[in-house]
Structure 1
Amino acid sequence: MQALADRDYYTDYDILKDPYGYFAAARAQGPIYKPAGQDYYIVTGFEEALAIMRNHDAFSAIINLQGAGMPLPFTPEGSDINDQISAHRKEFVGWDLVSNMDDDRHTKLRALINTLFVPSRLKASEEFINRYCDDMVGKAVADGKVELIKEIATPFVTMVVADLLGVPMEDRKIFMDAIAAAPPPGSIDGKKTGDPEHSPFTVMAKYFWEYIADRRANPQKDILTEFAFAKYNDGSIPEPSDLVQLGMFMFGAGQDTSAKLLGTAVKFLISQPGLQDRLRADPKLIPDFLEEVLRLEGSTKQEGRLARKDAVVGGIHIPAGSKIMISISGANRDPRRWESPDELKLGRPKIAEHVAFGRGKHTCAGAPLARAEVRIIMEKLLASTSRIDIDLEQHPDGVANLTYEQSYIIHGLSALHLKLTPPTGTSPS
């Protein structure tokens, strides 16, 4: 029988559904391990993951989307393959996404993203989040039940990022439907590649071209105008194609991460005895709770890196051309860094040091927004209920057999049906 640590992470649904035992088995072989029969390294050590994430000179993000399991479009040669990566860059999956970029190109586009997450913009977003949460949660509690992922989590975070980007209200449903109809990033189901003509990025691109062209011709006092006239650090104005690509990426990335985090957080609420009562009694614990959820089951399971130079990490020689899977889940459960790493503990020291949002230049720019939107909706859900329970009619086995997205990148539930009980002395209206 094949050892657990040597099974193929990128195609095995049982592992993708619950990767924590797999990453623990890999870690038992060392914090950096090359599975038998595979041509990539798995990094499960916390310090080793940090070292690679921060070393942008030796490690390229070009395989971040396609993952370490896919073959390279060339045969690496020598101790420095930067020129080969540059020559073949457009042959990598997602080569034009900011998450896959390196060096100056990444720095310029990342600076544009950062302009959308300044404190004043986030404060304005919180006002929208509060209003929208009241409507969504109020309806769900009045109904007494809800399917959390499709009825609340996905539309909620989609509307929030749409508001941040300034997407007109009348177009938001179109974007939401396009994303919902597509397979998740990193889907292992090869048959679900989708129709490129109707892919969410294709659909959104048409609209973003129109938004940018319109605002450049007819400036208004809105976010889209700021976006259309945003400048690089050197003062130059980006090409419209750069802004279109950036807008689509932010819309897609913001939708996935936060929606899955909300689903996972509620799963912990309904499966840990006494937890939701404790958070209701002291809502100030909710941010700490969410950090623990991010550490234990963050929405991103792994990141991909390609060694573009010979490097040494944790005493291990990694030759140029090596593909690397950085296990976010593994690093966040490394017992050398975290005491009782598989347990949810409120008040864990230095919990914000987890790597659920990455580290280095590719740290998730939307992390502050994700934390804010999930915190607010958790506060609303807990304040508006006396109990949140799993709907056993829909999930007879409880949380033991929930279904997960078939993705090697995203960790998240595909459905979670809940029963919602209003506070004592109230009744659904």
Structure 2
Amino acid sequence: MRPRSLRGRRGYPLLDGGRGRDGALPETGARSRRPMTRRYRLGIDVGGTFTDGILIDEETGGTRIAKVPSTPADPSVGFLAAVERILGEAGIGAADVGYLVHGTTVATNAIIEGKLAPTGFITTDGFRDMLEIQRQIRPSLYDLLFEKPRPLAPRYLCFGIPERLDAAGAVVTPLDEQAVAEAARTLREEGVEALGVCYLHAYRNPEHERRTREIVEEVFPEALVSLSSEVAPEFREYFRASTTLINAGVRPIVERYLSSIEARLRDVGLEGRLHIMQSSGGVLTFEAARTKPVFMVESGPAAGVIVSAYLGDMLGFDNILSFDMGGTTAKTGLVENGAPGITKEYEVGTAARAEHGAKGAGYPIRTPVIDLVEIGAGGGSIAWVDSGGVLRVGPQSAGADPAPACYGKGGP
């Protein structure tokens, strides 16, 4: 197929991004043809190793890019460094940016590396072991040595509460509010930061879950509570519980991260709209992402598939295989007939293994996600030898600090 003209949707050349011969954005400031009116859009992608930025002038189509090392101890530091570098090189102020969209693997990497916040689980009495039992689905049905993913919450942080709804949402057993309060007190003493609540059939009637949150907030106001009836209101309790626990486990991490970013951006004068890429390819406001971070689990990787589809359209190709190698993970996605596939049958946290992409090796989430295969092996993954003497790679990564050995910073 012969490629179409290398021009964007607005007719700006793709190869030079609308820049002048010296690679700079078109002239801005006092001598510009038009006054500054927040005409710039800024995109920032934070990975485990590098943070990348792109600045777009909406009037001219001009672009500028920047790359800085990520800062794992506080990713917002690397984020702001990318913002300051790209704005400084372009010679514009933060106040000129009207829209910022952010793609990040912060949530993804926390799941893959097993670094979720301490999380408790409250469910219907008799279903406390749901996270241990999980499901029959596995990558290889007859693999006797298969190890299920580690439960998202250890058993001692899981509590069964006397309550029951039938399949239509009618109350069979009233909620035992005293049991909820006792569970909340225990979880507070155990030092959890977040809590997931998943009662049977709560998708039909959320009242027990909502009342549980009210009680927990009275007893343990510091806890960040996620309800299955709000995060994934659909049937199949394990899948709903898994989605809710992932939301709960990454919520403190994302809350701190986004709050830090927003504060730093406001400090430098950026008052434009702030959005996060969703796993589905859409965007969330920062406020929405704080309460439902599970919707941004594949934030950065989703953006990669979308831009692959966009470039494919420019080049005249409808079917594309997208590959994204990061420092911690590697992702691949399929663009078919010009559009990325969307699925709700998705898993996260899958370790690198022979059955890449096979169901049952990770944690299921029931939110719309651009269909990707992701493994915990990236450019900075650490090679190690397991107890059986087998060489393995990942999921732990050297990241940006201390970084791989080739950086000469003392890393592995």
TM-score class normalised by the smaller sequence: under 0.3
- Greater strand proportion: 2
TM-score, normalised by the number of residues in structure 2: 0.23
Largest Rg, 1 or 2:
2
TM-score, normalised by the number of residues in structure 1: 0.22
Determine which structure has greater relative contact order: mean sequence separation of CA pairs < 8 Å that are 6+ residues apart, divided by chain length. 1
- Greater helix proportion: 1
